[in-house]
Structure 1
Amino acid sequence: MAIAEFEKTLRTPNSPFDLWLKGDDEAINKTEKEGYALFKEKGCIACHSGALVGGSTYQKMGLIKPYYTKNSDVGRSAITGKDSDKFVFKVPTLRNISLTYPYFHDGAVWSLKEAVKIMADLQTGQTLTDDEANKITAFLVSLTGEHPKVLLPQLPPSTDKTPKPIMH
């Protein structure tokens, strides 16, 4: 139950994009709207869909072109033992993605724009222009919502006068 309560604090259903979906035409700007259109047009939506904008499927990292990493992580095949699961990873949610760097399973990329360009190349075989990458990145940033405030209870001071053991 404690984990479920904690996980509720991770949801941010009040991002600018959510407000736009609910009808606030001013919640996201022209660049973010164009980025959303490109996100769909370029095929990103095939893996990053649903309320969490991803997080519900597994896909091969390097679908069109191989992904090279210094990390020895081979993905789900380490668990399943199947060669067909090599470099297959859970598709991450893109909610709050601007806050969750470094990117990819190996943490190799620190820039969201760079991650967008790499994913377009590896997963769809498309080379994005800087303008396209900037617009898609702007859209992704619009998925960042305000985190709920978590109030921790104030505990009373300890009244235990028993000496504490000294650890060496």
Structure 2
Amino acid sequence: MRGLLGFLPWIVYAFVATGDEWRWGAITGLAVAVALVVIDRGSGRGWDEIVIETSAVVFFACLTVFSLVAPDSPLTPYGPALVNVWLAGTAWSSLAVRRPFTLGIARTMAPRQVWETMRFYRLNAVITAVWAAAFTAAAVSLALVLAVTPHATTLVIVIKALTFALPAGFTAWYPKRARRALTRES
């Protein structure tokens, strides 16, 4: 579950930022993201293993600048949706360039002999697509909820939790299922 640590900046942002004040959330998310990238790179992790962390640095750097320049922007209440738009863009883009963001993480947990197989690539493409779909669903549903009822805190939390827990659970379950299927084929 090391790969889930990469979501820490996003989780911290979700706790620190509020609908009316996103500056501290952006600054804190940026600090956590930079710290993760520095620690990960210092420990020898490759860039392909820290796609989400690197994406967080870019997002939170931009959001920090924007939140300081335009603290009263009409986008402020849509922070949770914007996070998911960015994450969806990161995930879908990684699929578009045929480098699913889960690939580098998965290589740290799989034997080297499977890294270049089509099956390994497909497994990671499926997992990344599930994350991308979850981020997209979260972005759309959060934007709609926040447009209609900006202070629907409980519903926002439920959407965030479900759209994180479901793909995380799938990420844990799917490789085991794929291994069992491969064993049956052999």
Normalised TM-score (structure 2): 0.28
Higher helix share: 2
Instruction: Identify which of structures 1 and 2 has the higher relative contact order when contacts are C-alpha pairs closer than 8 Å and 6+ apart.
Output: 1
Normalised TM-score (structure 1): 0.31
